[in-house]
C-alpha cells in the first residue's frame, strides 16, 4: 500500500480548551489509484490533506494515529526531513495556483530549482525536463513560455504549471486540494484528464479533495465521504454514488441536480455542520439525520461493513444483527 492513514487525530489547542478537528480518520491509497475525499466545508477534507503533506497551520498538531508512506511513518518527522519528502515523494496541488507560484520568478526558474533540489541533474537537463513537463501538462509553445512569469498565464494555464511543479520530482503521491474549483468547465475536464493520465502513465496515486461530486464520479476509483472530522463512508465510487449506505452520503447524492428530472426545488440536507466546540454526542450527523434512532444519540459508530462499502452508521449494525438472528 502506498499511503496508509491510521486513526489520525488532529487537535487545535486554545485558551478555551482543545478542539478536535480530525477524529480517528483511517484510509489507504494504492499505487495508481485515485481516492476522492468529499464533504461539506468544515468536514476536515483539506485538514487531512495538510496533515499528510506536513503543512498543518499552527497551533494545529497531529495528536494521535499514524501516517505511513511506503511503510515509512512520516507524521513524526522533522520539518527538514518532511520538506525533502514533500517535494520528492509527495506532490501538492492547491486550489489557488497563485499561492503556489512566486510572482517574482519565471516559471522556468521555479521548475528548474524544484527539479534540481530533488533530482541529481545539471541545470541544462533540469531545464529540458521542465520544458517536457510543461508540454506534458498541455502548455503550448513551452520552449518560449518557460521564461514567462505567473501573471502572464491564464488561471487554467497557471493550474497546469502548478501540476507540472507537483510532478517535477516524479512523486509517488499527489495531494490535490480542490484543483479545479476556480476553473471553467472545459478547463476542469482537461485538468481531470491530466490527473488520470498521470496515474495511468506514472503509477502515481492521487488524493483528490473536492466538494464536486461530478468531478468525483468522473475521476476517482474510490471515494471517502467526510463529516465533522470523521469518515462517514468509504468505498468504490460507483457504489457510494448509486447506492449510498450512510444517510449523509445519501443526502449528498440526492442534492446533485438531475437534468432528467423536472422539479421546482433542489433536495437539501436540513441543518448545518456542527462547530468543533459543539459536536453532538453519539453520531455527529444525528441532529440532521432523517433515520436517527436512540442509539445514534448516545454511541459513536465506527466504520462497519455496509453492502459494498463501509459506513459509520448504526443502521448497518442493526441490519447485521437481523441477518445473524435469521
Residue 319 confidence class, pLDDT cut points 50, 70, 90: low
Q: Give residue 317's pLDDT.
A: 86
Q: How confident is the model over 194-208, as a mean pLDDT?
A: 87
Residue among 231, 197, 289, 260 nearest 27 (CA): 231
- Note down the domain range covering 251: 246-326
CA distances in angstroms from 259 to 119, 186, 264, listed in the order given = 49, 19, 12
% of the chain beyond a pLDDT of 90: 64
% of the chain beyond a pLDDT of 70: 95
Any domain includes 42: no
Any domain includes 17: no
Lowest mean pLDDT, pick from 26-30, 59-63, 266-270: 266-270
Q: Give residue 320's pLDDT.
A: 63
Angle 69-235-66 from CA coordinates, rounded to 5°: 30
Any domain includes 129: no
Task: Confirm if 25 and 7 have CB atoms less than 8 A apart.
Answer: yes
Q: Give residue 279's pLDDT.
A: 94
Q: Give residue 201's pLDDT.
A: 84
Any domain includes 52: no
**Beta strand 72-73 with 17-29: parallel, antiparallel or unpaired?**
unpaired
Return the number of other C-beta atoms located less than 10 Å from residue 52's C-beta. 23
Any domain includes 19: no
Three-class secondary structure of residue 232 per DSSP: strand
**More confident site: 160 or 26:** 26
Check pLDDT > 90 for residue 100: no
Lowest mean pLDDT, pick from 1-15, 119-133, 170-184, 232-246: 170-184
Residue among 143, 178, 303, 173 nearest 230 (CA): 303
Any domain includes 64: no
Check pLDDT > 50 for residue 324: no
H/E stretch holding 316 reads: helix 314-325
Residue among 85, 156, 73 nearest 117 (CA): 85
User: What confidence tens digit (pLDDT) does each residue in 133-186 have?
Assistant: 999 888 999 999 999 999 999 888 998 899 899 888 889 999 999 888 777 787
Any domain includes 298: yes
H/E stretch holding 144 reads: helix 142-145
DSSP state of 1: -
Total domains in the fold of the chain? 1
Any domain includes 291: yes
Amino acid at each position: 500500500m502506498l499511503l496508509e492513514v491510521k486513526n489520525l487525530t488532529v487537535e487545535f489547542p486554545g485558551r478555551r480548551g482543545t478542539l478536535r478537528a480530525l477524529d480517528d480518520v483511517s484510509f489507504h491509497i494504492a499505487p495508481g489509484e485515485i481516492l476522492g475525499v468529499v464533504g461539506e466545508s468544515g468536514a476536515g477534507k483539506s485538514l487531512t490533506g495538510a496533515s499528510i503533506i506536513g503543512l498543518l497551520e499552527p497551533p494545529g498538531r497531529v495528536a494521535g494515529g499514524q501516517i505511513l508512506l511506503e511503510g515509512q511513518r512520516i507524521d513524526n518527522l522533522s520539518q527538514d526531513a518532511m520538506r525533502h519528502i514533500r517535494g520528492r515523494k509527495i506532490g501538492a496541488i492547491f486550489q489557488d495556483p497563485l499561492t503556489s507560484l512566486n510572482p517574482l520568478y519565471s516559471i522556468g526558474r521555479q521548475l528548474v530549482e524544484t527539479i534540481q533540489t530533488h533530482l541529481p541533474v545539471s541545470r541544462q537537463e533540469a531545464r529540458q525536463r521542465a520544458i517536457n513537463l510543461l508540454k506534458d501538462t498541455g502548455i503550448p509553445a513551452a520552449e518560449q513560455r518557460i521564461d514567462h512569469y505567473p501573471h502572464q498565464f491564464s488561471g487554467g494555464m497557471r493550474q497546469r504549471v502548478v501540476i507540472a511543479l507537483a510532478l517535477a520530482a516524479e512523486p509517488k503521491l499527489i495531494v490535490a486540494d480542490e484543483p479545479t474549483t476556480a476553473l471553467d468547465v472545459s478547463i476542469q475536464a482537461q485538468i481531470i484528464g491530466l490527473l488520470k493520465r498521470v496515474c495511468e502513465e506514472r503509477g502515481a496515486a492521487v488524493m483528490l479533495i473536492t466538494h464536486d461530486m461530478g468531478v468525483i464520479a468522473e475521476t476517482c476509483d474510490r471515494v471517502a465521504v467526510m463529516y465533522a472530522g470523521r469518515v462517514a463512508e468509504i468505498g468504490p465510487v460507483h457504489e457510494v454514488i448509486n447506492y449510498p449506505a450512510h444517510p449523509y452520503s445519501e443526502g449528498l447524492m440526492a442534492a446533485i441536480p438531475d437534468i432528467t428530472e423536472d422539479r421546482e426545488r433542489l433536495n437539501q440536507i436540513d441543518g448545518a455542520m456542527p462547530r468543533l466546540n459543539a459536536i453532538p454526542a453519539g453520531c455527529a450527523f444525528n441532529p440532521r439525520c432523517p433515520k436517527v434512532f436512540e442509539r445514534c444519540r448516545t454511541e459513536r459508530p465506527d466504520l462497519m461493513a455496509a453492502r459494498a462499502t463501509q459506513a459509520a452508521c448504526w443502521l448497518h449494525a442493526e441490519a447485521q444483527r437481523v441477518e445473524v438472528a435469521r
